[in-house]
Structure 1
Amino acid sequence: MIGFDFDGFQKAGAAGDQGAEDSFRALAKEKLADVAPKVSAALKTAGLYSQDVELFFFPLPAVQEFRDLFQARIGWLP
């Protein structure tokens, strides 16, 4: 996940809004090319190869803050 790479996130953000968007897209495509075959194999192994699966990714400047707020909202605090 790019959001967990603080240096990568700062570098992408330093390029301005459109530059950050372009950088994020390029990094996401690169990482997804690596991850997609692994996800596909895991789904096939689990017998879920014919199921539709939707994954979505979005950049977060503060992943831990988002996680804390989300967990508080759903009532699941560590």
Structure 2
Amino acid sequence: GVGIIYSLKEEAVVSLTIKDSKGKVLATPVHDQTLKKGSHSATWNTKAVNNGTYTAEMSAMDRSGNEGSTTMKIKINKDASAPDIT
């Protein structure tokens, strides 16, 4: 899996969505969770996905209705080679 660490400057309702290169939603590790100010982490289980580049989209809305969002690329490269036996 992939660990995603993020920080909030104030309490907010947070969503984290993982999309493939075509924009299809593959996972929602965090869905409309109210989180306190500070550092948080989420885990995306990558067992069912192939190697490639994916997009993590995070949004946060504070009590006043102000919304912020950010995206980041996640590159998955699983080592599929067999171990060498000598």
TM-score by structure 1 length?
A: 0.24
More strand by share: 2
Which protein is richer in helix relative to its size? Answer: 1
User: Structure 2 length normalisation: TM-score?
Assistant: 0.23
